[in-house]
A and B are shown apart, each in its own frame.
Chain A
Amino acid sequence: MSTTLKRVHGYLAEFDNPQDLYHAAEHVRDQGYQRWDVHTPFPIHGMDVAMGNPRSKLPWLVFFGGATGFTVAFLMQFLTQVVIYPTVVQGKPTDIYTLPAFFPVMFELTILFSAFTTLFGLLALIGLPRLNHPLFASKRFPKFSDDGFFVCIEARDAKFTKEGTKSFLEGIGGKNIELVEDEI
């Protein structure tokens, strides 16, 4: 007999295909659950609507990342070429009129900073990387990256009850319903 203490993470229910999962997600959304997610091998078109997810805030982060890159590139070039150490090369001006020559680097750094913001903004928004997650304790869950379509309703949800949520998931057609527990 195991003596490990366990905490309920939530219920995991499996569905056969994207169509069933889509309708199940609509039911879970309409039931008023908040802390839940669907796990799929690929993004399902329209699932955000079925789940009632808001639009990602990532573009805003990237906008400011790009603006930072643009500013950094401008300052780097303007300060070094015009203010700190103006050098006359190829007869080009050393004042503000040399600005067009700075555009390519300003463009490149805008893209570079935006791309880095996209990467790190994405990781911040989805809370990855992490080394483990309670869901990985489930034997069936790794199927999500092959052909499994799962709904997971977490125990943290205010509407979660051990019996009620299970029968709800059964009612909307969930199969292989599993109580996922987390070792603490």
Chain B
Amino acid sequence: MEATSHASAPTPSEPRILEREPLVLNNRSYSWITNRICGIVENKQPFLWWILFVPSVILTGVTVFCFTYLISTGVGVWGQKQPVAWAWDITNFVFWIGIGHAGTLISAILFLTRQKWRTSVNRAAEAMTLFAVMCAGLFPGFHVGRVWMVWFLAPIPNANAIWQNFKSPLLWDVFAVSTYFTVSVIFWFIGLVPDLATLRDRCKPGLRKMLYGIFALGWRGGNRHWSHYETAYMLLAALSTPLVLSVHSVVSFDFATSVVPGWHTTIFPPYFVAGAIFGGFAMVLTLMIPARKIYGLQDLITAKHIDNMAKIILLTGTIVGYAYSMEFFMAYYSANKYELQTFQLRGLYGPSVWYYYCMFGFNVFAPQLFWSRWCRHNLWVVMFVCMCVNAGMWFERYVIIVTTLERHLTPGSWRTFSPTWVDIWTFVGTFGLFMMLFLLFLRFLPVIAIGEVKGVLPQSDPHYDPDREKGIQEEDLMDYPDRHVAKPGTAAATA
């Protein structure tokens, strides 16, 4: 956490205190927060909401149409032919699953590391996780070809009493992704309960109140409940943290446990996880920067929040850049000529080399702008970088999956992939599905965790003293030694 401004000029009598940037600006009250966030749900949506919603619904229809066409005709309507048996569908699957990871990172890992700024963005990010995983799940489901046989993935014996092959990473993936989705739903729902109670208590009697009431489970905010609730929240955060790291690791096992040059590498799990968090944060910012503007949430999602997320993008983007470089280096250093040739074809003179340049430029070079504070605070620059990353992460998956398969071990079977219109529109349509679900979420559920934001206000501290400046007290110093404040009379204060 950075401390940027000095609360007061240093004088001999008064210790120099480095003040933290507040998480909620303009000293907003509890009821202001409630009104502002619940107002989004209770008032009429702005016209822009409809402008976005209608095309989203149409695009969702396009995806539905494309999948219907695929089922009624056959999986050959997609462009994949041997040797490129995994193409856009698996690329899109990994892309969407990766987007989800930022939500869980914000809700779980930043919770465990006590990053209080997460409270303003975790709800929307978790919702984004769920919607992204829904979009992701479509692709492998239809990729199997006969979607009505998809129950073969479940651990029940098929008609010949043959069980699933639990030694296969593809089945691990089924368990990883379905567990991830289920746990994310539970985490999201438990977080929503107190806020649903807020919405319930504000509604007039009627259908809305009844529905919010049912989903709020009769929440009464009693501390005997909060006590168990906070334990449950902590446990779910602790469970989700290894889970989110495992999901993309398992996705990477789909590739890494094969013997295909370009896939068979041990760097894949950490590289995939870093890339997922990277791409996910870009999507969080892509959604939240317009949402905060449209709904007037600048006091809750402040420049500091965007700054922090931009820094995470810079960090993970640089990790991803390191992974790209290290892959190339290992291809050279391993002296494995197949591996080396794969990478030469991928990055230097293969048929899809421009995909590699897009990937590298968007993912590694674009985020380097975030070294500059001015760039992190200019929303147009932030949006530009996020768009680059959104695109770049798709190119990364395409490079890994398709460019590898295009130039497989047997040159006689080499074939360059080109997508069909069904490939393209199925993918474009999932953006409509994703946006539609997110807009409905904005419409019906609180986009910011109301209770959690109230909890991080300075006046929520039971030892807050409005008379003492900014509520910094001796109890605080004992409770939170990480706060950048100097206790009067200590060496740090007089230094």
Q: Which residues of A contact B (CB under 8 A)?
A: 17-19, 21-22, 25, 37-48, 50-51, 53, 55-56, 58-59, 62, 76-77, 80-81, 84-85, 87, 89-90, 92, 98, 101-102, 104-105, 107-109, 111-112, 114-116, 118-119, 121-123, 125-126, 128-133, 135-136, 142-147, 152
B223: Cβ under 8 A from any A Cβ: yes
Q: Is the CB of B198 within 8 A of A50?
A: no
Q: Is the CB of A145 within 8 A of B221?
A: yes
Q: Is the CB of A112 within 8 A of B179?
A: yes
Cα distance A62–B190 in the bound complex, in angstroms: 15
B213: nearest chain-A partner, CB-CB: A131
Which of A42, A105, A125 has the most C-beta atoms of chain B within 10 angstroms of its own C-beta?
Answer: A42
Q: Given the complex, which residues of B lie within 8 Å of A62, measured CB to CB?
A: 235
- Pick from B217, B221, B460: contact of A123, CB under 8 Å: B217
For the complex, would chain B's binding face be called helix, strand, loop or mixed by DSSP majority? helix
Q: Is the CB of B31 within 8 A of A115?
A: no
Q: Is the CB of A59 within 8 A of B223?
A: no
Q: Is the CB of A131 within 8 A of B223?
A: no
Q: Is the CB of A43 within 8 A of B223?
A: yes
Cα distance A104–B169 in the bound complex, in angstroms: 9
Q: Given the complex, which residues of B lie within 8 Å of A17, measured CB to CB?
A: 459
B454: Cβ under 8 A from any A Cβ: yes
Q: Is the CB of B186 within 8 A of A119?
A: yes
Extra inter-chain contacts (17) besides given A43-B223, A145-B201, CB under 8 Å:
A22-B462, A39-B221, A51-B224, A76-B155, A80-B163, A85-B161, A85-B162, A101-B166, A102-B167, A104-B175, A108-B176, A112-B179, A125-B228, A129-B217, A130-B217, A145-B194, A145-B197
B451: Cβ under 8 A from any A Cβ: yes
Cα distance A62–B239 in the bound complex, in angstroms: 10
A90: nearest chain-B partner, CB-CB: B167
B93: Cβ under 8 A from any A Cβ: no
B231: Cβ under 8 A from any A Cβ: yes
Q: Given the complex, which residues of B lie within 8 Å of A128, measured CB to CB?
A: 217-219, 225
Known contacts: A84-B163, A112-B182, A145-B194. The answer to whether A122 contacts B232 by CB under 8 A is yes
A128: nearest chain-B partner, CB-CB: B217
Which 10 pairs show the lowest CB-CB distances between chains A and B?
A: A147-B30, A129-B217, A142-B201, A22-B462, A42-B455, A43-B226, A56-B231, A101-B167, A80-B163, A37-B222
Q: Given the complex, which residues of B lie within 8 Å of A112, measured CB to CB?
A: 179, 182-183
Offer 21 A-B interface pairs, CB within 8 angstroms, sorted by A: A25-B223, A37-B225, A41-B454, A46-B462, A48-B223, A58-B228, A104-B175, A105-B171, A108-B172, A111-B243, A114-B235, A118-B232, A118-B236, A126-B229, A128-B218, A132-B218, A142-B202, A145-B219, A146-B30, A146-B198, A152-B222
Q: Given the complex, which residues of B lie within 8 Å of A81, measured CB to CB?
A: 163, 165-167
Known contacts: A122-B232, A146-B31, A147-B31. The answer to whether A108 contacts B246 by CB under 8 A is yes
Known contacts: A50-B462, A122-B228. The answer to whether A131 contacts B218 by CB under 8 A is yes
A132: nearest chain-B partner, CB-CB: B218
Q: Given the complex, which residues of A lie within 8 Å of B175, measured CB to CB?
A: 104-105, 108-109
- Pick from B179, B235, B243, B462: contact of A45, CB under 8 Å: B462
Q: Given the complex, which residues of A lie within 8 Å of B165, measured CB to CB?
A: 81, 87, 89
- Pick from B182, B225, B451: contact of A41, CB under 8 Å: B451
Known contacts: A37-B222, A145-B198. The answer to whether A58 contacts B232 by CB under 8 A is yes
Least Cβ–Cβ distance between A59 and chain B, in angstroms = 6
- Pick from B31, B194, B462: contact of A19, CB under 8 Å: B462
